[in-house]
Structure formats: structure tokens, C-alpha cells
Structure 1
Amino acid sequence: MLLTSVTMLPSKTTNIHRLLQLKHLSRWLVSGKSYSRLVLGIETSCDDTGAAVLDEAGTVLGESLHSQKEVHLRAGGIIPTVAQKLHREHIELVVNEALERSGVDPSQLTAVATTVKPARGVDDFLLLGHTLDEAPGDSLDKVARRLSLIRHPQCSTLSGGQAIELLAKDGDRTRFSFRTPMGQSYDCCFSFAGLRNQINMTIMKKEAEEGIECGTLLSCVNDIAAATQHTVACHLAKRTHRAILFCKANGLLPSLCPTLVLSGGVASNQYIRKALRIITDSTGLCLLCPPAKFCTDNGVMIAWNGVERLREGTGILPPNADISYEPKAQLGVDLTAAVKAAAIRLPSVRMKI
């Protein structure tokens, strides 16, 4: 999740090379044209280079994406310096492709939006919970690496999370029973490091039983994947359930069509979507999930955030303003202490997925 800022520009900016050579790729470039406003979004925050052009209605006019996945799979994970180098090598091609596919000349752009810090939206947030250690996607990737899924013939070109989801479809999640984290903590925060330790201990035990070394595929790999995915999904569902109940108790949800939005890389996992849908169905909310291709890195989400900021007039900077990055940024008003103090106990919900 990412936020952008906006920089006002003179009206006749036409050189896309100038846009790309800016010291910081994390700003808006606004021209002041009077025609319908068009936004170019550029995403370079993690391991893919993406760009997209949107109009003010949110229509995707053109997009392009260069994936670094194969490079990082060979390296065993994302190495920031390698990712940065690959972004530099491919950003101009990606931006030009997005512009070409949209049929938009750089001179027609109203704004260019790129990322400066975590989060998405404009500025109005209430923070109910956050991870205490690592993100769920990171945990799934680490479990996949520990299981050496890159050696699996079906998983050699998949990310860790994708590999877990694929193998879990043919696995028996009941064969391994992992404890859902933080069962006695009545807040909305998440923790995955303890769960990953449980999984690692199980993998070590099964390796000893099968007489194989680390790096060799276990015969029960599908079952471990299924149990891992189910426990992660249940943890996310329970913490989200408490967040919904807290919001209801404090009048924080709209009376008309309250909606839970599931976003980020893990939102592409269909099993996790089903788990969250069970919660929204039981609490009377709608569940909104973006198409899977927009859950991971892409320029569309950045361009749309840019459209929102352009409408609100928020984060618009003068041409020569210094841009500051915030790798870890405060997200809205922190209500985590209030959620914990409420100590909401959850009603039983059967997670039949």
C-alpha cells in the first residue's frame, strides 16, 4: 500500500525523459491543461516496475509491468539493491509502453504520481491493527523457501505465496494442526513469526522422519502448504472480525452498504478471500477485492491514488520541492490501544472453506 505526492509544473512539459530523470521518482507532475485530466502512475516501491495511465473516471487507458520475480526467485528473496538496479534499467521502457498503449502524449498528462511511503488512499485513516513482526505474504514466502518449493516442478516460476496456494489445493489441512496466533490477545494486531516457527519445527520433524536433508521436497508438502494457508487465513479473519465489531460498537461504519476492502499481495489468494467473506457475511458487510492482477505491484493503483489526490488537492508540491521518503510511515490515527482496551471476545464462526 502506497501514498503519492503532487508537484505543480509549467503547462508545456513534453519531455518524458525529463520526467524520468527526476532525482526522486515519488511525486506528481501537474501541467495545468484544461482538458479532461489524465494521470500517469509509476510504481517502483518493491520488486516490479509498473506504469499506467488513467483518466479522472478511473478508466485504465494503458498499462505496462516488468516483473523481477524470476531474478528474486533465483536469489531466494528480494534484495533491495538488486531491485533498485532493475527498476533503473526498466523504468523508461515501462513508462513509454504505458503511454504508447494509452495513446497519450506526455504533453497531455495532467499529473504523474509515484510512491513515497506505505499506505493507500488520501489521508483519512483510523488504524485498528498492524503486524507486530512480519507481513502474511512474507511469512508465506519464507515457508515456501523453507519447503524448497522452487524445486517443485509445478512451482519453479511461482512466488512463495502462489506456490503455497497452488499446492494447498491438493493438500489435507487437517493433517497438521498449527495454533492460530495471539488467541489470548483481544486486539486487532497480527503476528506471524510464532506460526512460522511452529511450521519450521514441523518441517524439521518430517525431514527427520523421512530421512532427507533441508532442500529436499517432503512427501507431505501439499498438506503442510494447506495447513499453513488455513492458519494464516483464520488469523487474518479473526483479527478482522474483531475490527468490524469494534467499528460497529463505536459507530465507525456507514449505515448504507458498509464494506471491507481487502488489498495488497495476499488479497490475490482465493482461500483468504473466502475466509474474509465468511466474516463479512456473518457481520452484514460487503467484501470488495480488486482483480488479482491489481493486488500485487502495479502502476494502476498509484495512478488511481493520484487521481484521488488531484481531486482533493492534497499533497500538491511546487516544482522544486524536496521529496522525502518514509519507508515506515504512520498510517492515520492510531486506535490500537482503544481496540485492545475494548477486549472484544469473538463469537464462534465456523471457517468452512
Structure 2
Amino acid sequence: MMQIETIVCYRICRQFMHHVVRRRIQHVRLGSSLKIAMNFMYHRRYSSKVTGIVLGIETSCDDTGCAIVDSNGKILGEALNSQQQIHLNHGGIIPPIARDLHKQHIEHVVHDALRIASIELSDVDAIATTVKPGLPLSLVVGMNYGKHLSRTSGKPLIPVHHMEAHALTIRMVQKVDFPFLVLLISGGHCLLAVVQAVDKFLLLGQSLDDAPGEAFDKAARRLKLRNLPEFRTLSGGRAIELAASKSTDPQAFEFPMVMAQYRDCNFSMAGIKNCVRRHILQQEKLHGVEGDELIPDVFNLCAGIQMAVTRHLCQRLQRGMEFVTLQNLLPRDNKTLVLSGGVACNTFIKRAMGLVCQHMGYSLAVPPPHLCTDNGIMIAWNGIERLCADIGITHDLDSVDIDSKCPLGEDWTDKVAKASIKCKWIKLTPLLKEHSTSQE
């Protein structure tokens, strides 16, 4: 009975407490059950500060997401409409189609999130929406709907940088204090930065061409993995990972060290992509592969691709860690690497990053997979972070616009290059040995 009473009071006090906070009512008598429920409602693993509720909207690419999050990191409601299968059928994301699907679904996605949270729009304290970077046609839909909600409810708008949101999501589920190092790897981005505050980032490295997720997607298409039933509904990155796990010889194909002559932290997948193309053409010619047929050694090639991308990421990361130590940018006794973005769901890459962290004296923090991919939760949480810090909150809706190619923070990439740090690379061979053991 006590449990049922607490759950009921939990739902009641969520709205009641915000009524009290907004109106600054100081003398309120509460029954014992309501006190218990309020303590439960506002208990956070590492903080008890209460500041509000934010509704977040995400439409930077091909997923229409909305979530409602409170300042304790509790997800009150979430809804997501994925366009993945539609774009897989088209062989890639078609921006006008993505825009039209966002327009078609955004209203009911937002309504579903509010319904699941059992609150009204008037109960939230701010509207957060992604405005940069991303596909312009997609960003506009989310921004306009966010402005619409802000205008009709009278709530302030919080414009959000998509990659900053990825970087800070970990703080919703784990105690990670500023400053920390973050590696953001996704379908559209590859960024290495020091996060000094909610709105202060030092960019150490960025992708010069394809991002890791994009490279995986292109490789999966060229390898025709979708012709196998088990890969038909998977993204390119997930298909490559699954295929690689079936490999019997991950070192069957050779890949060159990428950008070995450049002593910076920038990333490039062009060399790996060209090498993949050469391997496929050679294998197709060797085995007389035609039409929809796959090369016989496709699983081993996928393992080679995954290893090549992982090795490149780890080497650029290692140099970034050396630079951080040289510049004393993180506490020497409390260094954390946050790994986030869609490609951070790749188990092999996570294990490799763990190996680098172990050697470099870092702790590794990775959000759970459903928070690594694009979603409304990370946007709502970034809104909470900004609400707590009183940063970037506005009622001037006309001043808010999209920026499809917005950089992340202050650019320190030249400083890294000028440091010209030479590294003795951490070997990833233990991962290959683990793979061989698992196949026996």
C-alpha cells in the first residue's frame, strides 16, 4: 500500500513542486507520504539541486526525436520516429525526404512525449531544440516547431549545438566533472575536444573528409551487405561490426597507416575508403564476382575495415592525450575520456578506446547505446545544463537561426600541429587475440 501511495504522490508532486517553485511559495505543509515522494522524485545520484524541466527537440538529420527531462537526469517522456529503413532503401539520406518526414511526424512525436510524461506544455520550464550543425532542411523543421511551442506557451527557447549535446549527455547518467576530454564519432562528425564548461570547448582535432560512420556506410553499400538477409535492416556501421564479428582472419587484408606523416589530431577516412575500394575490385576480379554477388572473403574484409578505422581513431586520440598532458589541460590525477556519438555503440571501438585509456591513465565514460545515437533526450539534457548555468536562454525568437556547418568551440588544431608530438603507438593486438579466442 505504501508503494502505491508513493507512486501516486510521485506523479502528483511533480506538477505540485514546480507550481511551488515557480510561485516561490515558502511555507507549505506536506504530509509524510508526499514528503517521501518528493524526496524520491528529486533525489539525484550526485546532486539534489532542482531547477526545472526541459522539452528537447532533435531533427538534425533523419530522426525526429522529442524528450522531456528534469534537472535530476530523469527522463519523464520520450518519443522517436526513425527514418532509417526508408533511407536504407534509398541507399542513403535524401535531404528533401528527411525534411518531409520530419514535418509529417514532429507534432505527434512531441505530443507523444508529453503524454508519456503525463504533463502539459505549461509544466515545462523551457524548450530546447537543435539548430546546429546538421542538414539544413531537417534543422529548419525542428527549429520552427520549437519556436512555435515557445511562442504559444510563453516559455523561453534554448538553441542547442548538436555535438555539444552529445558531449554532455554522459553527465546525465554519470558523475563527470569539467574539464574532460571527449571523442565524438558519428555518421557526420569526428571531433576530439577538451570540454571546459557547458559552453566552452577546445577543439583538438576534426574530420577532414568522411566521418567514421559515413565511411562504414559507404563500405557496407559497396560490399552489398544488404543482399544478405541478416544485414538488410541494419545501418552500414552496425552491418560492418556484425560482419567483422564473423571474421576468421581479421588480418587477411592490409590497410596503410593513415596520415602517419601529420603530427596533429585531425581525422581522415579517405585513405581507408580508397583502400577498401581497391581490395573489393581485386577480390571481384579474382573471384569473377558479378551483379549482386558478394566477394567470398567479405567478413574478413569487414574486420580489416573496422580495424583500420579503429587504429586511426586510437592514434589520433593518443596524440591528443599527449597534447593535453603537455598543456596541463586536465587534472593529472583525474583524467576522463568521454566517448559518444552513434559510432560509440561499436563494441570493438569501445574496447580499443578502453585499451588506450588504460595505457594513458584515463578513465573511459560512455553513455548507454540509446543515448549515443541521435535523440531528443540529449537535446533536453543540454537544455537542462544551460538552464542551470543560465547560458543561451532566450525569448527573442527572431534572433535564433540554423547553422548547418557550425564548428565546435575554440579551434586549437593548429596548436596541436605546432607541438609536433611524436608517439610510440599503443598496440591493439590484444583485441585481435581476443577475437581469435572467441572464434575458436
Compute the TM-score of the two structures, normalised by the length of structure 2: 0.71
Partner residue, 2:173? none
Per-residue deviation, 1:59: 1.1
Q: Are 2:218 and 1:156 aligned?
A: no
Identity %: 45
Give the whole-Å Cα distance in 2 for the aligned partners of 1:42 and 1:110: 14
d(CA) in 1 for partners of 2:227 and 2:370?
25
Distance 1:107 1:183, change over 3 A: same
Q: Give the AA of the match of 1:63.
A: E
CA distance in 2, matches of 1:215, 1:142: 16
Preserved contact between residue 81 and residue 109 of structure 2 (Cα < 8 Å) = yes
Q: Residues of 2 paired with 1:313 and 1:214: CA distance?
A: 58
| Residue aligning to 1:297 | 374
Q: 1:44 aligns with which of 44, 59, 62?
A: 59
Shift of the 131–255 alpha-carbon distance from structure 1 to 2, 3 Å rule, reads: same
Distance 1:216 1:40 in 2: 47
Q: Tell me, yes or no, if the aligned pair for 2:339 and 2:365 is still in contact at 8 Å.
A: yes
State which structure, 1 or 2, has the greater radius of gyration over its C-alpha atoms: 2
Paired residues of 1:165 and 1:269 also in contact (CA < 8 A): yes
Name the CA distance, whole Å, in 2 between partners of 1:71 and 1:269. 23
Structure 1 residue 321 displacement after superposition = 2.5
- 2:69 corresponds to 1:54: yes
Give 5+ residue unaligned stretches, structure 1: 1-31
Separation in 2, partners of 1:150, 1:164: 11
Which secondary structure does the structure 1 equivalent of 2:231 belong to? coil
Contact kept? 1:117, 1:325, Cα under 8 Å = yes
| Paired residue secondary structure (2:385) | helix
Determine which of 156, 165, 175 is the counterpart of 2:241.
Answer: 165
Could you tell me how far 1:312 is from its partner in structure 2? 1.4
Residue in structure 2 matched with residue 12 of structure 1 by the alignment: none
Distance in 1 between the 2:341 and 2:205 partners? 15
Aligned to 2:220: 144
Measure, in 1, the Cα distance between the counterparts of 2:53 and 2:346. Answer: 31
Partner of 1:6: none
The alignment status of 1:201 with 2:245, answered yes or no, reads no
Partner letter of residue 94 of structure 2?
I
Deviations, residues 303-353 of structure 1 (Å, cap 9, x unaligned):
011101111111122244332211111221111111111111112312021
**8 Å CA contact 2:204, 2:412 repeated in 1:** yes
2:253–2:300 CA contact under 8 A, matched in 1: yes
**CA deviation string 1:187-215 (max 9, x = no partner):** 10000011101001100110111111254
Residue aligned with 2:199, SS: coil
Report if the CA contact (8 A) 2:164-2:408 is conserved: no
Q: Which residue of 2 aligns with 1:13?
A: none
Assess, with a 3 A threshold, how the Cα gap between structure 1 residues 321 and 33 changes in structure 2: closer, same or farther.
farther
Q: Is the Cα–Cα contact under 8 Å of residues 58 and 129 in structure 2 kept in the other structure? A: yes
Map 1:210-221 onto structure 2 (within 5 A).
210-213=287-290, 215-221=292-298
Q: How does 1:1-353 map to 2 (within 5 A)?
A: 33-34=22-23, 37-118=52-133, 119-121=163-165, 122-171=198-247, 172-213=249-290, 215-351=292-428, 352-353=430-431
**Structure ranking higher in helix proportion:** 2
Aligned length: 322
- Conserved 8 A contact 1:146-1:215: no
Name the stretch that deviates more: 281-290 or 176-185: 176-185
Q: Report the TM-score, using the length of structure 1 for normalisation.
A: 0.88
What SS does the corresponding residue of 1:229 show, helix, strand or coil?
A: helix
